[in-house]
Structure 1
Amino acid sequence: MEAIVLIVCGLLAGALGALVGLGGGIIIVPALIYLGSYTPLLKPISPQVAVGTSLLIMIFTGLSSTLSYMKHKTVDYKSGWIFFLGSGPGAIVGAWVNQTLKMSTFNVYFGSFMIFVALLLMFKNRLKPVQGLFNQTIKRTFMDGEGHTYEYGYHPLMGILISFIVGFCSGIFGIGGGSLMVPAMMLIFLFPPHVAIATSMFMIFLSALVSSTMHIWLGNVNWTYALFLIPGAWIGAKAGAWMNTKLKSDTLVSILRIILILIGLRLIYQGIVG
């Protein structure tokens, strides 16, 4: 029964993570903690081990979905590597802080921020791009399957700064970081949704390599759970990436908004009761 539960969790996490670029940790972390603490389905584990195990799974979720998105040419590799310059060090710092930080207050603030981002996405068509902070020294164009052309761009320093914050949050919560990076790419850098999600999964793969290594060194990985989560996450990520290519951009944004609100409410609840 334990193996079946873990494989199903991996499937759901991989599919959802690849579909909207979140990585899937938002399902794995609370599932491992809840099922271990309140049901006989899994053995109890600490939040640190749940986070470390989740980040190890993110390696396979990120790699699986990235390989799928490569076929559709929606991964912006150069941007992914630039963002990794910030998210990698941020993930290391976040993993270290995770050991000692009392996260209840931070959960409330972070959850509130997630809901704020969801509201921003709701009104994103009425918002003007952020101008004047940095020049867009890196510019891109992308044409989707419907023939729509998108122009987007950013300054590397701004991208690295934002991705450092994303990596830091990923190292603490084990949620992959896409819940912050995808909205940032769409609202600040004007990435088209399909490219933002695919590039986010590539960055999550790179960041997870770093942050999970840190958690392995700290002893925060349940290898038995990982053994059963990985196959489900790999298959689920393939399915999520396939679904992503079949959905319109507006549909993806709507799904992302709903998920961000659910993330925010869960974090606020966890912060209050914890």
Structure 2
Amino acid sequence: MHFATAGIDAPLWLPPLAGFVLAYFCSMVGISGAFLLLPFQMSVLGYVSPSVSATNLVFNLVAIPGGVWRYAKEGRLDWPLARLIALGTLPGLLAGWWLRLHWLVDPKTFKLFVGLVLGGLAIRLWRSRTIVSTRPTTTKPESFPARGVLLLSLVIGMIGGAYGIGGGALMSPVLVALFGLSLHAIAGATLFGTFLTSLLGVAAYQFLPAPAGLPTQPDWALGLMFGFGGLAGMYLGARTQKHVPLRLLETGLALLLAGLAVTYVTQFFR
């Protein structure tokens, strides 16, 4: 199938399958999977124009509601934390949108940026393993420093806006590593915040003015196909999350992120 906006060809079954697999495993730690979907689009599909960030956010819009609904239905969504995350990440995302279109247009430079973000995320996930292993598992809301979470959300929103993720991929491990919160307790809140910021991000890439000749609108067909697969994966991941030990999952994610980070950073220097 040809995707005109992205300028690529891909088998019809590949986008939904990729979305399902990534969303299923990542939703268990409060992450939509978009942080891995973007490297997949760049490296496997060859989609590297600025509109790839917008397409990544479309995936979030379709995939995340299934997980959020499941967490809310089970009473495992910390609404005060979710509102605070959204309040900080929304303005930060607009700053990230501007950076993507003015400073990170060149694919080579953007891959370096992606590599650095993935590397930092890998370090955070690896460090959080120690914290998680020493804390009792809980699915109940926990106390958190509101001012610290708000400031953190602003910075993460800016990075997420440029990358093309809502911010949950960065927010979850940082909340665990810095504030000692439980992944089981925060997963629903970070997914909800990611959904709201993704909604604003798609609108920004679609409607706000961009430099002349620069493609910024999402490839809706590709994003929706990723998203429909992700919707099923997100729901099933949220449903099974409370029964899955997170240490092994976090270790695998951290190693995968580290490998991707090294690949992109070395490509920049070559």
2:191 aligns with 201
Task: Please state how far the C-alpha of 1:65 moved relative to its aligned partner.
Answer: 0.6
Q: 2:234 pairs with 217, 220, 237, which one?
A: 237
Q: Does 1:163 find its partner at 2:153?
A: yes
Secondary structure, aligned partner of 1:171: helix
Q: Per-residue deviation at 1:188? A: 2.7
Amino acid corresponding to residue 8 of structure 1 in structure 2: L
State the AA in 1 paired with 2:39.
P
Aligned to 1:25: 34
Q: CA deviation at 1:252?
A: 1.5
Letter in 1 for 2:124: V
Structure 1 vs Structure 2: percent identity of aligned residues? 18
Give the C-alpha shift of residue 271 in structure 1: 2.3
Distance change in 2, residues 1:82/1:112 (3 Å): same
Q: Which residue of 1 aligns with 2:177?
A: 187
Runs of 4+ in structure 1 off by over 6 angstroms are: 125-128
Instruction: Summarize deviations over 1:70-110 as a string: whole Å, max 9, x none.
Output: 12211101111111111111111112211232335434443
Alignment-mate amino acid for residue 266 of structure 1: L
- In structure 2, the partner of 1:221 is 218
Shift of 1:33: 1.8
How much does 1:53 deviate?
0.5
- For residue 12 of structure 2, give the secondary structure of its aligned residue in structure 1: helix
Q: Is the 8 A contact 2:23 2:63 kept in 1?
A: yes
Cα gap change, 1:196 to 1:99, in 2 (>3 Å): same
TM-score, with normalisation over the residues of structure 1? 0.80
What per-residue deviation string (whole Å, max 9, x for no partner) do you get for residues 179-204 of structure 1? 32112222333322211212111111
**Cα shift at 1:151:** 7.5
Deviation per CA, 1:149-191, whole angstroms, max 9, x where unpaired? x773223221111111221221122234223211222233332
Corresponding residue number in structure 2 for 1:99: 101
- Structure-2 residue corresponding to 1:124: 131
Instruction: Compute the TM-score of the two structures, normalised by the length of structure 2.
Output: 0.81
CA distance in 2: counterparts of 1:143 and 1:272, whole angstroms: 40
- Distance in 1, matches of 2:225 and 2:114, equals 28
| Contact preservation (8 Å) 2:35, 2:169 | no
1:95-131 CA-to-partner distances (Å, cap 9, x unmatched) read: 2211232335434443332232133223326999xxx
Cα RMSD of the aligned pairs, angstroms, is 2.4
1:256 corresponding residue in structure 2: 250
Q: Equivalent residue for 1:87?
A: 89
CA 1:127–1:11: 2 relative to 1, 3 Å: closer
Counterpart code for 1:171 = G
Distance 2:51 2:251 in 1: 28
User: Given that residues 132 and 247 in structure 2 are in contact (C-alpha distance below 8 angstroms), is that contact kept between their aligned partners in structure 1?
Assistant: no
Change (3 A) 1:256 1:97: same
Structure 2: distance between partners of 1:110 and 1:227:
25
Distance 2:198 2:70 in 1: 18
Aligned residues: 246
Task: Indicate conservation of the 8 Å contact 2:30/2:183, yes or no.
Answer: no
In the alignment, is the contact (CA less than 8 A) between 2:122 and 2:253 conserved in 1?
Answer: no
Which ranges in structure 2 are unaligned for 5 or more consecutive residues?
A: 2-10, 211-215
Q: Following the alignment from structure 1 to structure 2, what is the Cα–Cα distance between the partners of residues 62 and 85?
A: 18
Unpaired segments of 5 or more residues in structure 1? 38-44, 129-141, 145-149
Is residue 60–residue 230 contact of structure 1 (8 Å, CA) maintained in 2? yes
Q: Write out per-residue CA displacement over residues 13-60 of structure 1, whole angstroms, 9 at most, x where no aligned residue.
A: 3213322212111232122222323xxxxxxx3342222101111122
Structure 1 counterpart SS, 2:13 = helix
Q: How does 1:52-71 map to 2 (within 5 A)?
A: 52-71=54-73
Q: Is residue 161–residue 201 contact of structure 2 (8 Å, CA) maintained in 1?
A: yes
Provide the rounded CA distance (Å) in 1 between the counterparts of 2:89 and 2:181: 18
